[in-house]
Amino acid sequence: MGERRLARWYFGGLASAGAACCTHPLDLLKVHLQTQQEGRLSILKLTVNIVKQQGILALYNGLSASLVRQLTYSTTRFGIYEIAKQSIAPSGDSIPFYQRVGLAAVAGAAGGFVGTPGDLVNVRMQNDIKLSPELRRNYKHALDGLIRVYQEEGLRRLFSGASTATGRAVLMTIGQLSFYDQVKQFLLSIGMLDNLTTHFLSSLTAGAVATTLTQPLDVLKTRAMNAKPGEFRGLWHLTTYTAKLGPLGFFKGYVPAFVRLGPHTILTFVFLEQLRKNFGIVSS
């Protein structure tokens, strides 16, 4: 029997950043679908248009901001969740599901707030290519975007959409972390091994739950971050504006969101489990 290892606090951020490198084009397409008010273009037509007009590398616009977001947002939420979980069960034993949900909610709230500036620049850089040239922000990279937002729009603008981003992060972290642990525990209890198959099934379920929980807030967050200053007079105005599209307006881009979040969640936990098994802390 091999050694039992626990994840280090920063493994989640590294794993999420690695997954983002693979799934970034899907994230970009999701942002484009969520910010088109008419909703006429399908994901296939949108992909073809972007590649024809800007080239295939345009699908990686904003990658640096996506990495900054993951290294702030995911490192914070995974780190808090792992540290708290290990303080409750130092030897790596399972904890009740309600405790997992509570820990995930707190970790998600902290991660959502910390990751808002990177998320804002990420959304803007991804959405830039569909704007006319005179309206593009043309951030050179994530750091340039953060500095320019601070200089041109102020510190407060860096945290635009923080309320919806934080609410989304709470639901995302509950869906991903607590459900991943719960499903994995169940699969192990019925005789499955702690291997890639178990990690895949657990993370696929977690990705589906997280997408369903977060999609309405994700749509509102994306619109808030991409809006011009003063375009919306608050969360209620933003919500009623989106509601003009009907109830399904809050789930715009659901399929590409799951297509993106599913693989991202799977890759994150596969990378995380490999980091844990090879470089984790040996439990006492």
Phi/psi of residue 136, each to 5°? -70, 145
pLDDT of 117 reads 92
Would you list the domain boundaries of the chain? Answer: 5-279
Phi/psi of residue 175, each to 5°? -65, -40
- Which residues have C-beta within 8 Å of that of residue 172, sequence separation ≥ 6? 108, 210, 213, 214
pLDDT of 105 reads 97
Nearest to 19 by CA among 221, 171, 203, 143: 203
**Are the CB atoms for 235 and 175 separated by under 8 Å?**
no
Phi/psi of residue 47, each to 5°? -60, -45
How far is 272 from 99, CA to CA, in rounded Å? Answer: 21
How far is 210 from 176, CA to CA, in rounded Å? Answer: 6
Residues in the chain where the model's pLDDT stays below 70: 1-2, 34-41, 225-226, 230, 253, 284
Q: Looking at residue 74, what DSSP letter applies?
A: I
Superfamily of domain 5-279: Mitochondrial carrier domain (1.50.40.10)
User: Where is 137: in which H helix or E strand?
Assistant: none
Burial class for 274, CB neighbours closer than 10 Å (0-12, 13-18, 19+):
middle
How far is 208 from 271, CA to CA, in rounded Å? Answer: 19
How far is 199 from 24, CA to CA, in rounded Å? Answer: 22
How far is 148 from 108, CA to CA, in rounded Å? Answer: 27
- The identity of residue 221, as a single letter, is K
Question: Structure tokens of 60?
Answer: 């990686």
pLDDT of 1 reads 44
Largest CA distance in the chain: 63
Place of tokens 């006319």: 132
- Which residues have C-beta within 8 Å of that of residue 186, sequence separation ≥ 6? none
- Which residues have C-beta within 8 Å of that of residue 63, sequence separation ≥ 6? 20, 21, 24
How far is 20 from 140, CA to CA, in rounded Å? Answer: 19
pLDDT of 284 reads 62
Question: Structure tokens of 1?
Answer: 């029997």
pLDDT digits (tens, 9 = 90+) for 165-214: 888 899 999 999 999 999 999 999 999 999 999 999 999 999 999 998 88
pLDDT of 209 reads 94
